Amino acid sequence: MKIFNINNIVIKSLAVLCVIGFCFNAFGSGTPPKSTLNLSLKDALTRAMRDNPLVKIERINTEVASSFAGDQRYVYEPRVRLSYQTTERSSGPYFQDSHEALLSVSGTSPIGTNVEVWTGASPLSPASRLSANTPPGSTHQNTVGITVTQSLLQGLSPSANLAPLRKARIDVSIREEELAAYAQRLLGDTERAYWDLLLSEEQMKIYEYSLELAQRLLYESEERLKIGSIAPIDLVAIRAEVASRERQLFDAATSYQQKTLYLVYLMNAPELWSAALSLTDSASETLGNEDSVDEHLEAAKKFRPDLRLASMQAQKGELELIQTKNGLLPKLDFFISLQGNSYAENFTNAFTPDNPSSAVAAGLTLQFPLTNGTSRERHRRAVFSTEQQKLSVENFSRLLEYEIRSAHMEVVRAHRQIETAQTVSALQLQKLEAEQEKMAAGKSTGYAVLQIQRDLVSANLDEAQARTAYINALLALYTRDGTLLARRGVSAMQ
């Protein structure tokens, strides 16, 4: 029977050494790994924002939106047109060639004014040179003209004309807010992954400590068995507990490795897949006094990306309303055109009073659909859409206040949980020490000590989880009020 017990002890000891050896080799407590990186929280966040490809995609989307805004900005750019035309006509048995070059510059203003200036030149045919209206010795005919068209109803409002440009600029701002929202989510995920990895490391150390306590109790119990103070059956529960804690340590080690991989993924650092990360920040450094809920509510009105985005969508709706309202008007334009010909090398005499070829034309043009049903329905939809967007912004503001107040309460609760967990851990340690003294005096059993060890391990795990829960509650609050990027000193556009 004694030989059987000794063999069990040897087997269990080897198993323990294997588990501990695996953890040490995998996570830097024994043989040095391939590479070790000291990683601070700031470094992790910087890597994620700099190297994550999805952030780069969102930045490109912002540049694309900026390009569309540029298209609208150049709508009022002057346009230059240059043309050349040659014509061949048959005149009896002969063919007569004519050539004409034309240069025009036109442009439109936001107040509905369109101006076009043109000039052209063409050589005179032999027949035209002999005409009575052609000055003697003329070889070319020059044409100069200017036309001004002014919208009087539809197209007169600068607000309606500039609405596409303003909507395009709002689209750029919307893309920037979407980028900020995504960057904030990535930043929050990365920071949570950092603290979760730190928690996993603490849990692994707690399980190592738990296994060490069980092994020590097993050794002491085996020594008592040798002197006959306990029965062999009393070692069964202790050995089972040692095996159970070996499994817990193995699971904790595997979880630590998986969380390391997740943090490396968020940082987009493939060179660190096989590296061991040594986290340099401590969860206790984040403990401090929280801001008041009113301060978070005021910050949310300024920094919350989705609230700003909803407000921008409402602004676009108002611009659409202005456009569709302008579309209800009939199109009434006033135009004036001045044109003259010159046969000299310059154009100064093209508009002289004695030039018979100069002409002035002016008038009005009116154009409208019979029912204008399409414009009326478009305006009607714009009215409904604008009303919906206003109601959405109001509802979102109420939802935002609820979320911030709830998140602030969770931060306060999580902070108090840390103090409670620390007190419980200290009391459980005292309880374990007292029970061990009782067992040494023969007034307690190994099973009772195991129960208290479990309570101590559970209290230590609760304390570590309470610190991480507090950090996660803070991150949730900073995400709700939109200040996470500013608090971490990160810009989404970097």
Instruction: List, in order, residues 6 or more apart from 452 with CB less than 8 Å away.
Output: 428, 431, 432, 435
**What's the pLDDT score for residue 11?**
40
Strands 94-108 and 79-91: antiparallel
Q: pLDDT by residue (tens digit) across 153-176? A: 998 999 999 999 999 999 998 888
Q: pLDDT by residue (tens digit) across 55-71? A: 888 888 888 888 888 88
DSSP state of 290: P
pLDDT at 318 over 70: yes
Q: pLDDT by residue (tens digit) across 74-85? A: 888 899 999 888
Domains annotated for the chain, with CATH where assigned, are 2-67+166-314+388-487 (1.20.1600.10), 78-108+113-154+331-367 (no CATH)
**What's the pLDDT score for residue 131?**
56
Given a contact cutoff of 8 angstroms between Cβ atoms, the answer to whether 480 and 406 are in contact is no
Q: Measured in whole angstroms, how far is the alpha carbon of residue 471 from the centre of its chain?
A: 22
In this prediction, residue 26 has a pLDDT band, given cuts at 50, 70 and 90, of: very low
pLDDT at 28 over 50: no
End-to-end CA distance of the chain: 72
Q: pLDDT by residue (tens digit) across 108-117? A: 999 999 999 9
User: Range with the lowest mean pLDDT among 75-84, 221-230, 266-275?
Assistant: 221-230
Instruction: List, in order, residues 6 or more apart from 170 with CB less than 8 Å away.
Output: 312, 315, 316, 319
Q: What percent of the chain has pLDDT over 90?
A: 47
**What's the pLDDT score for residue 8?**
44
**What's the pLDDT score for residue 456?**
93
pLDDT at 17 over 50: no
Given a contact cutoff of 8 angstroms between Cβ atoms, the answer to whether 28 and 205 are in contact is no
Q: pLDDT by residue (tens digit) across 442-478? A: 888 888 899 999 999 999 999 999 999 999 999 999 9
Centre a 10 Å sphere on the Cβ of residue 170 and count the other Cβ atoms it contains: 19
Q: Which of 303, 5, 351, 273 is nearest to 180 (CA)?
A: 303
Mean of all residue pLDDT scores within the chain: 84
**What's the pLDDT score for residue 139?**
61
| Order of strands, sheet of 140-151, starting from the edge strand that comes earlier in the sequence | 79-91, 94-108, 113-123, 140-151, 331-342, 359-367
Query: Higher pLDDT residue, 350 or 314?
Result: 314
pLDDT at 280 over 60: yes
- For residue 279, how many C-alpha atoms fall within 13 Å in the half-sphere facing its CB? 23
CA separation, residue 78 to residues 75, 92, 108, 438 (Å): 9, 45, 7, 97
What is the rounded CA–CA span in Å between residue 340 and residue 357?
Answer: 6
pLDDT at 250 over 70: yes
**What's the pLDDT score for residue 259?**
95
What is the rounded CA–CA span in Å between residue 457 and residue 107?
Answer: 79
**What's the pLDDT score for residue 401?**
93
Q: What percent of the chain has pLDDT over 70?
A: 83
**What's the pLDDT score for residue 32?**
45
Start-end of H helices in 152-162: 158-161
Instruction: List, in order, residues 6 or more apart from 41 with CB less than 8 Å away.
Output: 191, 194, 281
**What's the pLDDT score for residue 441?**
84
Given a contact cutoff of 8 angstroms between Cβ atoms, the answer to whether 321 and 389 are in contact is no
Mean pLDDT, residues 318-323: 91
What is the rounded CA–CA span in Å between residue 90 and residue 372?
Answer: 50
Query: Higher pLDDT residue, 369 or 125?
Result: 369
Q: Which of 268, 65, 59 is nearest to 182 (CA)?
A: 59
Task: Give the total residue count for the chain.
Answer: 494
Query: Higher pLDDT residue, 8 or 404?
Result: 404
**What's the pLDDT score for residue 36?**
83
**What's the pLDDT score for residue 20?**
45
User: CA geometry: angle at 74 spanning 164 and 339, to 5°?
Assistant: 110
In this prediction, residue 252 has a pLDDT band, given cuts at 50, 70 and 90, of: very high
What is the rounded CA–CA span in Å between residue 304 and residue 308?
Answer: 6
**What's the pLDDT score for residue 247?**
95
pLDDT at 44 over 80: yes
pLDDT at 148 over 80: yes
Instruction: List, in order, residues 6 or more apart from 15 with CB less than 8 Å away.
Output: 243, 246
Given a contact cutoff of 8 angstroms between Cβ atoms, the answer to whether 408 and 290 are in contact is yes
Given a contact cutoff of 8 angstroms between Cβ atoms, the answer to whether 139 and 128 are in contact is no
In this prediction, residue 355 has a pLDDT band, given cuts at 50, 70 and 90, of: low
What is the DSSP track for 189-243?
HHHHHHHHHHHHHHHHHHHHHHHHHHHHHHHHHHHHHHHTSS-TTHHHHHHHHHH
- For residue 421, how many C-alpha atoms fall within 13 Å in the half-sphere facing its CB? 20
In this prediction, residue 7 has a pLDDT band, given cuts at 50, 70 and 90, of: very low
What is the DSSP track for 292-319?
PHHHHHHHHHHH-HHHHHHHHHHHHHHH
What is the rounded CA–CA span in Å between residue 46 and residue 274?
Answer: 21
**What's the pLDDT score for residue 210?**
93
User: Range with the lowest mean pLDDT among 214-218, 284-288, 327-331, 384-388?
Assistant: 284-288
Centre a 10 Å sphere on the Cβ of residue 190 and count the other Cβ atoms it contains: 23
**What's the pLDDT score for residue 18?**
46
